[in-house]
Structure 1
Amino acid sequence: MATSNPLLRYAESRKNLVGGVCGLAGVGIALTGAAGGLWPLVIAGLYGAGALIAPPERPATPEFAEEGDRLDGVRADFATLRGYLAEVELPSAARERLSALDALIEALLAPGLVTDPEHLHVLARTVRLDVPEAVDAFVRTRWWSRVTPGTEAPERHLERQLAVLHEEVAAVTAALEEADAMRQEIHTRYLEGRGRD
């Protein structure tokens, strides 16, 4: 059961468990006499090394109800996604990109704004699939990147993915603005033409 106390949460964490197992190995080494007088440092060092290499805690990827591409369903799933993203540790650059994408999606999910099924599908796919997959892949890869140096930083991949998703959602915004401008122009022509009759 999860607890809100940070000390108890750490006691239950993977980092503490792996560190504890490594620390016990240090106790075994100390009992054999191989550590000599440095046995406290060996135990503490092995605990620290275990805690550092342990995989980080990951919040579970959200489960979305199959609502299709209805606006109310996408809005509910967006609220679920926000809860998940609040629990995930992200670098500041990725968090900024995610905040910009979040604000754009929130604006587009206002009732009555997006009526085109294709645009709503883009938003649904972004909320239910693309953003959770990008963030979850980052969280999983972040740990492995510590073990295998020399690979491209997972933060860079996440930032690039969020930039692409922002462009896709911004294209929906541009299409809506263009449709509104065209509608306004058509109505202006209609009114001007009506005045000539």
Structure 2
Amino acid sequence: MATNRFIGYLESRKNLTGSACGIAGLALTFAGLAGTYWPVVVAGLYGAGALIAPPDRPSLPDFPDPSAQLEELRADFATLRAYLDGVDLPPAAAGRLTELTEVLAALLDPGWVAQVLARDPDGVHTLSRAVRQDIPEAVDTYVRTRWWTRLAPGAEPPERHLERQLTLLHQEADHLAAALRETESRRQESHTRYLEDRGHSH
């Protein structure tokens, strides 16, 4: 560990700048300008160079950009749809699920919509949570609860909860689509104002 720190210092800007200044001090010594105090001059110049050098900064973590996150989310969405195709749902819940997945598919479709979405980290998070957590959990919970209901009939039908959950998720997806549409509308209005202001300045 200590060896790594030492090697890191040797390669640092502080050491390189200090060394350059120290070499300049040696040049002054050979030119006869430093006199008998040349070690002090060289050491002083090295120290001054090390002090004025900008500090090294660690590299920023390499997180995937939003476009890469959306690409991964599309793959997970395809996996989710394959899972949903194998689940037997009652007609009302199946209809709600189809409406929801159509909105999600439109938002995740590669193209300019996805480009707008990529600029909205909260939107990406909302979609990711729906695809990777909320929808599979709602459907899986329904499947398991339905089995128990067959053993002990009379409880509230589990499909009602599933329909309500899918309705809420559909509303959330609609709100996200509306927010993205509003973002584009504001962008269009801003461009109009920019062109108007530019025209008035001439």
Q: Structure 1: which 5+ runs fail to align?
A: 1-66
Please give the root-mean-square deviation of Cα atoms over the aligned residues, in Å. 1.6
Aligned partner letter, 1:109: L
Larger helix fraction of residues: 2
Counterpart position of 1:94: 93
Identity %: 56
Counterpart position of 1:72: 71
Counterpart position of 1:40: none
Aligned partner letter, 1:181: S
In 2, the alpha carbon distance for the partners of 1:131 and 1:68 equals: 25
Q: Deviations over 1:22-48 (max 9, x none)?
A: xxxxxxxxxxxxxxxxxxxxxxxxxxx
Counterpart position of 1:178: 182
- The partner residue of 2:143 within 130, 139, 150 is 139
Alignment of structure 1 residues 29-44 onto 2, 5 Å: none
Aligned partner letter, 1:102: T
Aligned partner letter, 1:125: R
Counterpart position of 2:164: 160
Aligned partner letter, 2:121: P
Counterpart position of 2:81: 82
Counterpart position of 1:114: 117
In 2, the alpha carbon distance for the partners of 1:192 and 1:185 equals: 11
User: Which 4+ runs in 1 deviate beyond 4 A?
Assistant: none
How many residues of Structure 1 are paired with residues of Structure 2 in the alignment? 131
Q: Structure 2: which 5+ runs fail to align?
A: 1-63
Q: Specify the SS of the correspondent of 2:117.
A: coil
TM-score after normalising by structure 1? 0.64
Aligned partner letter, 1:124: S
1:100 deviates by 0.5
In 1, the alpha carbon distance for the partners of 2:136 and 2:101 equals: 12
1:68 deviates by 10
